[in-house]
Structure 1
Amino acid sequence: MRIHHLNCGTDCPLGGALFDGRSHGPLGHLVCHCLLIETEASGLVLVDTGYGLRDVAHPHRRPDPRITLPWRAMLNIRLRESETAIRQIEALGHRAGDVRHIVLTHLDFDHAGGLEDFPNATVHVMRREYDDAAGPHAGIVARNRWRPRQWDQVARWQFHSAGGEGWFGFGAVRDLPGLPPEILLVPLPGHTWGHAGVAIRQPGGRWLLHAGDAYFYRGEMREARRRCTPGLRAYQRLMEVDARARLANQARLRDLSIARRDTVTLVCAHDPVEWERCRDGYPL
């Protein structure tokens, strides 16, 4: 098993270091950290997709845009074809058909935009996430975060519910059909009710947990005291469905990242430093 760390979308919100904690200019730099897993028996597996080809080509097509103008302006999204998962996978010498499974942390527009670039893949997601995303949307956040136009042509869904043997004290969904037992879903509600992390057991026994949007900033993990930039702290509050559940799961992840530092590596979806260190092979 080999894991590639891909950035499948760049956001440059106004505020610089108030978002990413390191920029010196007026604009911040956030990523869409996705994983490409090469497996022996299950082909290529994607964890999240970031933005897709159709997002790049037609982000605001009326009457049902793939990405709404308010959210694109707020995040200052830079849509680049070269950053789409499909183009990066092709650059590695593979084809779209080689991606047999996609495992989603959740269905927000910046995590699911590339689903239709892989028409033959089975898409794994929590049942609650799909039901909420596909159902009627009340409120400005729900209407902007879930864009069914991005995935209305997906033909192969595999829905999952919480249950089964736990994982380091967390609930877990094991034995995902078609996937090796080293890949499992870890429900982490709060950002959305159906939000989940994706845990991968690597050769040698170490675990990698892609925690999606359960946290946004590197300082929220691996330290006893939580640190988060004002911009990302505010954005997390804007997007949460339940503050208590989100913060409780975040605290549990922080404890795990400290107590099991030699066993588990945690990454989130949008922190550029985490992505760069993983891409370059440095420890977190």
Structure 2
Amino acid sequence: MRTHHLNCGTLTVDPSTDTDAASAVCHCLLIETDETLVLLETGLGMINVRRPQETLGDFVDWAGPKLDPEETAVRQVERLGFAPSDVGHVILTHLHIDHTGGLPDFPHAAVHVHEVEHRLATSTAVSQYPQAHFAHGPNWVVYPDGGERWRGFDGVRQFDGLPPELLMVPMPGHTHGHVGVAIDQGDRWLLHAGDTYYSHVEIETPSKPAPPVLEELQRSVEDDRAKRLAGVERLRAIAGDADLTIVSAHDPWELDRAVRSPS
């Protein structure tokens, strides 16, 4: 399976505090299987480019999205020579605003997400989830708890209708239904850890904290800090595995490394 690493949303995070702003990306993957295309994360989409205030709200102010239509997943899929309809499946680590903006651009795709995340995100009582991104009625495929153990993570399972090389890896904490996605590439694995961490220095040994503005942001949005940090610790423990590459959703350094060493 060929994997393309895409930036589907350049951000300049600045919550208007004393901390310096930080550059970030929306690191998405386009995976070519024998039968279909799989998009892991959707970043920001055309709905956000066209109607930013309506669909993103104050995210526009503190996250500073570039809102370049050429960065949207749908435009990048087309530049790679595919049609948007070729994307048969979308996998989401969680359903925050900067991960779901591209969903309406792929209205017929099956959208794979953890059951807990789906329940919270589709409840009108939970305001942190972007209902405008779900208004087209996504074809949800939801997964309950349960599965096997993989490199220290529990509840790992295959996705319905997708090759067994793709695994859902629960990593709760950032949100209650947050997951990572592992991809068996034959001679090595690629693990997308979503928003479990924001900077690669957090999973290095010895580790360092993320830049202050990102650490502040993580604290303000995470649902369960103890669980998230347990996931970071587990990632740190396996980060040195020779057959494993770990990436997260917003680290520009990781994206640049991946683009320079395509898989």
Q: Is the 8 A contact 1:115 1:154 kept in 2?
A: no
Flag the 1:105–1:194 CA change in 2: closer, same or farther, 3 A.
same
Which one-letter code corresponds to 1:58 in the other structure? R
CA distance in 2, matches of 1:241, 1:147: 17
- Structure 1 gap ranges (5+): 20-25
CA deviation after TM superposition for structure 1 residue 176, in Å: 1.2
CA deviation after TM superposition for structure 1 residue 166, in Å: 1.3
Flag the 1:27–1:237 CA change in 2: closer, same or farther, 3 A.
closer
User: Is 2:246 the partner of 1:266?
Assistant: yes
**Counterpart of 2:120 in 1: which secondary structure?**
helix
State percent identity of aligned pairs. Answer: 44
Of the three residues 102, 110, 121, the one matched with 2:109 is: 121
Who is 2:90 aligned against?
Answer: 102
User: Is 2:201 the partner of 1:219?
Assistant: yes
Cα shift readout 1:164-219 (whole Å, capped 9, x = no counterpart): 22111202442311100000111111100000001100022x11110000000010
Which one-letter code corresponds to 1:226 in the other structure? K
Q: Is the 8 A contact 1:34 1:49 kept in 2?
A: yes
- Structure 2 gap ranges (5+): none
Which one-letter code corresponds to 1:80 in the other structure? D
CA deviation after TM superposition for structure 1 residue 251, in Å: 1.0
Cα shift readout 1:221-259 (whole Å, capped 9, x = no counterpart): 13233332111111110011111111111111111113x
CA distance in 2, matches of 1:180, 1:222: 31
Higher strand share: 2
Who is 2:140 aligned against?
Answer: 157
Which one-letter code corresponds to 2:162 in the other structure? L
Cα shift readout 1:249-277 (whole Å, capped 9, x = no counterpart): 1111111113x2x0211100001010011
Who is 1:240 aligned against?
Answer: 222
CA distance in 2, matches of 1:233, 1:131: 27
Cα shift readout 1:129-153 (whole Å, capped 9, x = no counterpart): 011111143xxxx52x310111221
Which one-letter code corresponds to 1:276 in the other structure? D
Cα shift readout 1:11-59 (whole Å, capped 9, x = no counterpart): 11349xx98xxxxxx7532100000000113x10000000011110012
Who is 1:188 aligned against?
Answer: 171
Who is 2:55 aligned against?
Answer: 66
Of the three residues 164, 167, 174, the one matched with 2:150 is: 167
CA distance in 2, matches of 1:248, 1:36: 28
CA distance in 2, matches of 1:67, 1:6: 21
CA RMSD in angstroms comes to 1.9
CA distance in 1, matches of 2:209, 2:21: 20
> So what's the TM-score if we normalise by structure 2?
0.94
After TM superposition, the structure 1 stretch with the greater mean CA deviation from structure 2, 48-57 or 274-283, is: 274-283
Which one-letter code corresponds to 2:256 in the other structure? E
